[in-house]
């Protein structure tokens, strides 16, 4: 008899599933077509040999999508309500990468939080953060080392299922350890006992937060771009550009060289930051290129 469960970790051919009673069982995935990811609701069953098997993938409320190395859509996590993006003084923030993270959140209709970590290593937050005050739900200043800002971050994650993502080296693991305490060891120990090992984790891991809410730890990345099937949807990834796009003279305006473009006028007036507009153009070019390839 199958029962509902939640995928809390994904390995090459297995998923760690949490049942309704809170117990966690390593399950084989019945077929490659299922391809569950962390955050997915599934149906699974216990076999006679005591091992579990995932038999069905249930519908998703949301999907965080990115472009894989072949230009195809790849799901990062499912059924999120919030994306938490971590920056730090070192490595130097990649603002174009931040724009793409926030774009993915906007396209998936997720809340977003920007965290500037390692505050103890910075004389002051970077000026560029000011451009994001109205583009994200919250900006938190933290120091995982000193504990600064952690109560505020804990509060804004308490009622959400959040994915935490960012460049490698921004202190994401230190933040997660500070938020979770000893709770992080639960999944790691199960992974080792099962013979899967942490090094074979291919997507992400979900943790319950002590103060409420859930956190999905996504691997650090050097590059990220949201998957957008239709280039006409790129403007939706930039909240302020999408706000002005409806005032353009032409309904199919690409906001590049068309006359009477409200977006370009907003860039000229400073209502849209020039760097954000450049980021929009870069993502539009990438999306159009991939769209042509798929035809």
11: Cα separation from own chain's centroid: 19
Pair of tokens at residue 80: 């999120």
Per-residue pLDDT of the chain (295 residues; tens, 9 = 90+): 899 999 999 988 899 999 989 999 999 999 989 999 999 999 999 988 878 999 999 999 999 999 998 889 999 999 999 999 999 999 999 999 999 999 999 999 999 999 999 999 998 899 999 999 999 999 999 999 999 999 999 999 999 999 999 988 999 989 999 998 765 545 455 445 544 444 344 557 899 999 999 999 887 667 899 999 999 999 999 999 999 999 999 999 999 999 999 999 999 999 999 999 999 999 999 999 998 887 6
Residue that is written with structure tokens 């990220």 in the block: 224
In a shared domain, residues 209 and 247? no
Kind and range of the H or E element at 73? strand 73-78
In a shared domain, residues 250 and 284? yes
Which pTM was predicted? 0.90
Residue 272 sits in a domain of what CATH number?
Answer: 1.10.40.50
In a shared domain, residues 195 and 67? yes
Of 156, 189, 217, the domain-final residue: 217
Strand bridging mode 205-208 / 214-217: antiparallel
Within-domain flag for 211: yes
Within-domain flag for 183: yes
In a shared domain, residues 28 and 116? no
Q: Which long-range contacts (CB under 8 A, 24 or more apart) does 24-28 make?
A: 24/186, 24/187, 24/190, 25/52, 26/51, 26/52, 26/190, 26/194, 26/196, 27/51, 27/52, 27/53, 27/54, 28/52, 28/53, 28/54
In a shared domain, residues 102 and 169? yes
In a shared domain, residues 92 and 111? yes
Q: What domain range is 268 assigned to?
A: 231-294
Q: Any idea what the Cα angle at residue 73 is, between residues 292 and 237, rounded to 5°?
A: 80
Within-domain flag for 205: yes
In a shared domain, residues 49 and 96? no
For the stretch 59-91, what's the b/e string if a residue is b when 16 or more beta carbons lie within 10 angstroms of its beta carbon?
eeebbbbbbeeeeeeebbbbbbbbbbbbbbbee
The domain tally of the chain equals 3
In a shared domain, residues 206 and 237? no
Beta bridge partners of 108: none
In a shared domain, residues 171 and 259? no
In a shared domain, residues 149 and 175? yes
């Amino acid at each position: 008899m199958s029962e509902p469960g939640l995928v809390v970790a994904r390995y090459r051919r297995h998923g760690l599933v949490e049942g309704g009673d809170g117990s966690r069982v390593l399950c084989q995935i019945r077929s490659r077509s299922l391809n569950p990811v962390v955050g997915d609701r599934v149906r699974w069953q216990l076999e006679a040999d005591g091992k579990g098997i995932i038999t069905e993938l249930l519908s998703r409320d949301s999907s965080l999508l990115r472009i894989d190395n072949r230009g195809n859509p790849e799901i990062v996590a499912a059924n999120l309500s919030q994306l938490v993006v971590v920056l730090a003084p070192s490595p130097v923030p990649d603002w174009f990468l931040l724009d793409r993270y926030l774009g993915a959140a906007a396209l998936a209709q997720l809340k977003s939080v920007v965290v500037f970590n390692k505050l103890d290593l910075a004389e002051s937050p970077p000026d560029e953060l000011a451009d994001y005050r109205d583009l994200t739900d919250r900006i938190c200043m933290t120091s995982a080392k000193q504990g600064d800002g952690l109560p505020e971050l804990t509060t804004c994650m308490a009622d959400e299922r959040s994915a935490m993502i960012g460049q490698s080296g921004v202190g994401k693991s230190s933040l997660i350890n500070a938020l979770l305490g000893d709770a992080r060891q639960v999944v790691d120990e199960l992974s080792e006992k099962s013979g899967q090992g942490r090094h074979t984790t291919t997507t992400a891991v979900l943790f319950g937060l002590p103060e409420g809410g859930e956190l999905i730890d996504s691997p650090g990345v050097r590059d990220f771009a949201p998957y957008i099937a239709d280039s006409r949807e790129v403007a939706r990834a930039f909240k302020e550009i999408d706000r002005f796009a409806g005032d353009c003279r032409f309904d199919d305006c690409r906001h590049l060289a068309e006359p009477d473009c409200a977006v370009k006028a907003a860039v000229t007036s400073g209502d849209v930051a020039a760097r954000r507009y450049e980021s929009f153009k870069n993502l539009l070019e990438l999306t159009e290129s991939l769209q042509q390839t798929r035809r």
